[in-house]
Amino acid sequence: MKINLANIKKAKKLLYKRECIAIPTETVYGLAGNAYSDQACQKIYKLKKRPKNNPLIVHYLNIQRLKKDCHLNNDFIKLYKKFCPGPLTFILNLKKSSKISKIITNKKNTLAVRFPRHSVTRRLLKILEFPLAAPSANPSSRVSAVTSNHVKEDFGKKIKYVLEGGRSSIGVESTIVDLREKPKILRLGGLNVSTIQKILGKKITINNKPSKIVSPGQLKVHYSPGLPIRLNAKNIRKDEAYLLIRKKKVSKPNYYFLSQQGNLKEAAKNLYSTLRKIKKKKYSSIAVCKIPDRGYGKTINDRLLRASRFNEKTT
């Protein structure tokens, strides 16, 4: 993407004033502020209406900068070398000397860190003297934003600036891996678990497998388009949108497909923008076809399962 230096300068100026702005990343857009400033971090929580006990991911340019704030370990180095910058977030132990705002960490001694690959945001990080705290740029519990317009639709004038970066190339949030002890996946996302496992050379446990959830209370409602969702649906009502992985030969106006050929990576990329499109059309609900539970299909199923919990709250 061509970099517009005037935009980067504007973003920098606002961030130095402890303002909160939106930044593009290859996964989803983020709501960013100076991670060393309590004031900036408070603004992020307020704007997003995020519960105070939900910590924020901090975005760094590279490992050299991260060293000031976190203890590194061998598993981290292996994964960093292979996948960073990229769609992977690490949970690490914070250093006592770290300047990271206590607002972000909720007074715990761990930190979620990520190295975004998007060229615009890397250019911005390069000229800042602080890392950026940035949760996904959407109101808490709703669908993430993959274009600058989505952010503007969600926040309007409440947000000071949206740094343009085009459409997010991956389209779903980063995979989160806790590396403090035995590697554990805390969130499925833009990097497949099997790929991570191969590089670490050891088995990783997944902490959020839908089949392993024993109580519905363990599932947080999240990623909701604001409409009820029916999973593995077969009979589609006329007033429902039908979400499909692959384009059907015979289509109807209420059919929305995520990929031409059934490619799961492409489907994940199109998931949030399609949910947003459907929401605008005033359907009563969304019926979703059965989605293969492999590769990026696992991430899509994870998101839709959480989004479907919205039903129970609202209907």
Q: Kindly state the smallest distance separating residue 280's Cβ from ligand TXA, in Å.
A: 22
Are 147 and 167 in contact by the 8 Å Cβ rule? The answer is: yes
Residues numbered 87-116 forming contacts with ligand TXA, rule: CB under 6 A: 89, 91, 110-112, 114
- Of residues 87, 114, 91, 112, the one with CA closest to residue 175: 87
| Per CB under 6 A, 171 contacts ligand TXA | no
| Per CB under 6 A, 224 contacts ligand TXA | no
Residue 89 touches which member of ligand TXA, Mg ion, none, C-beta under 5-8 Å by kind: ligand TXA
Q: Kindly state the smallest distance separating residue 242's Cβ from Mg ion, in Å.
A: 26
Binding residues with ligand TXA: total (CB under 6 A): 21
Are 25 and 119 in contact by the 8 Å Cβ rule? The answer is: no
Are 65 and 173 in contact by the 8 Å Cβ rule? The answer is: no
Write phi, then psi, for 134 (nearest 5 degrees): -155, 100
| Per CB under 6 A, 168 contacts ligand TXA | no
What does the alpha-carbon distance between residue 32 and residue 107 come to, in Å, rounded to a whole number?
20
Are 124 and 23 in contact by the 8 Å Cβ rule? The answer is: yes
Q: Kindly state the smallest distance separating residue 262's Cβ from Mg ion, in Å.
A: 27
Sole window of 53-61, 65-73, 128-136, 205-213 interacting with Mg ion (rule: CB under 5 A): 128-136
What does the alpha-carbon distance between residue 104 and residue 35 come to, in Å, rounded to a whole number?
8
Candidate list 135, 165, 171, 225; residue touching ligand TXA; CB under 6 A: 135
What does the alpha-carbon distance between residue 225 and residue 142 come to, in Å, rounded to a whole number?
6
What does the alpha-carbon distance between residue 266 and residue 257 come to, in Å, rounded to a whole number?
11
Q: Is 82 helix (H, G, I), strand (E, B) or coil?
A: helix
- Encoded tokens for 267: 């489907």
Q: Kindly state the smallest distance separating residue 183's Cβ from ligand TXA, in Å.
A: 14
Q: Kindly state the smallest distance separating residue 16's Cβ from ligand TXA, in Å.
A: 20
> Which lies closer to ligand TXA via its Cβ, residue 56 or residue 193?
56
Omega of the bond prior to 85 within 30 degrees of 0, cis?
A: yes
What does the alpha-carbon distance between residue 238 and residue 276 come to, in Å, rounded to a whole number?
19
| Per CB under 6 A, 30 contacts ligand TXA | yes
| Per CB under 6 A, 27 contacts ligand TXA | yes
Residue 30 touches which member of Mg ion, ligand TXA, none, C-beta under 5-8 Å by kind: ligand TXA
| Per CB under 5 A, 168 contacts Mg ion | no
Say what angle helices 74-83 and 193-200 make with each other, to 10 degrees: 120
| Per CB under 6 A, 174 contacts ligand TXA | yes
| Per CB under 5 A, 299 contacts Mg ion | no
Q: Kindly state the smallest distance separating residue 12's Cβ from ligand TXA, in Å.
A: 18
- List residues near ligand TXA by CB under 6 A: 25, 27-28, 30, 54-57, 89, 91, 110-112, 114, 134-136, 173-174, 176, 186
